[in-house]
């Protein structure tokens, strides 16, 4: 074989190893069954209920923080259907309002809709974790791109939910979000 053939073969092997690593050994390789027997179990009607405070950061494609935010959330439930109203305040002073509708199945499945979600998001809660997959359309100010989103929420023993999300375009990670969601003590909020 000549040098060019070795180079092409080597490039194919490296690409195959990178794809294998992404599909089998990375964040997107997780599956809800990985957390099936790990507790305490996340109960969305309990742990995502009432007023919540969310604090987080958004990383750009190079791994650097591009934005920081806080959000006030209020979640109400009517049986298996929840409404999560969110008000995000970003470090640049911009404010974004969103509203999710979550529909829970008896098997741990979750369906999620929001005005900027294309179609319907689908997820599954198992053990202390919840995975949610959806397509999100960014605002026109942010380019109007449609991204594939993978959200993972993990319940911590004190009731806080750790959220890690990755956003991809054509399979390439373009952003990542890490945030906490925790219940607001209503009595303390009213006293303030």
CB 95 within 8 A of CB 86: no
Confidence (pLDDT) at 68: 97
Model pTM greater than 0.85?
Answer: no
Give the Cα separation of 192 and 51 in Å (integer): 15
Phi, psi of 106 (to 5 degrees): -70, -15
DSSP string, 47-76: HS-EEEEEEEEEE-TTSSEEEEEEEEEEEE
Residue range 25-43, pLDDT digits in tens:
566 767 676 677 766 788 9
Confidence (pLDDT) at 12: 81
Pick the CATH number of 32-191 from 3.40.190.10, 2.40.128.20, 3.40.50.150, 2.60.40.10: 2.40.128.20
Confidence (pLDDT) at 13: 75
Confidence (pLDDT) at 192: 54
- The alpha helices in the chain, defined as continuous H runs, are 3-24, 44-47, 186-191
CB 152 within 8 A of CB 141: no
CB 76 within 8 A of CB 82: yes
Does residue 143 come out as left (phi exceeding 0), alpha (psi in the -120 to 50 range) or beta?
Answer: left
Q: Where are the chain's structural domains?
A: 1-30, 32-191
96, 71, 102: which is closest to 182 by C-alpha? 71
What DSSP state is assigned to residue 31? -
Tokens of 125: 């809660």
Phi, psi of 179 (to 5 degrees): -150, 160
Residues of the chain with pLDDT under 70: 1, 17-27, 29, 31, 33-34, 38-39, 186-192
Neighbours of 108 (CB within 10 A): 17
């Amino acid at each position: 074989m000549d040098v060019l053939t070795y180079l092409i073969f080597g490039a194919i092997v490296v690409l195959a190893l990178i794809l294998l690593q992404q599909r089998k050994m990375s964040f997107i390789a997780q599956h809800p069954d990985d957390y099936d027997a790990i507790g305490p179990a996340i109960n969305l009607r309990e742990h995502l209920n009432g007023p919540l405070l969310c604090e987080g950061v958004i990383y750009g494609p190079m791994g650097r923080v591009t934005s920081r935010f806080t959000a006030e959330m209020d979640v109400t439930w009517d049986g298996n259907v929840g409404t999560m109203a969110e008000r995000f305040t970003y470090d640049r002073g911009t404010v974004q309002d969103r509203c999710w509708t979550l529909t829970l199945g008896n098997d741990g499945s979750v369906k999620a809709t929001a005005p900027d979600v294309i179609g319907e998001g689908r997820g599954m809660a198992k053990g202390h974790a919840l995975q949610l997959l959806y397509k999100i359309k960014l605002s026109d100010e942010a380019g109007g791109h449609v991204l594939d989103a993978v959200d993972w929420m993990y319940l911590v023993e004190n009731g806080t939910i750790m959220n890690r999300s990755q956003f991809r375009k054509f399979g390439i990670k373009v952003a990542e979000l890490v945030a906490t969601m925790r219940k607001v003590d209503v009595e303390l909020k009213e006293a303030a």
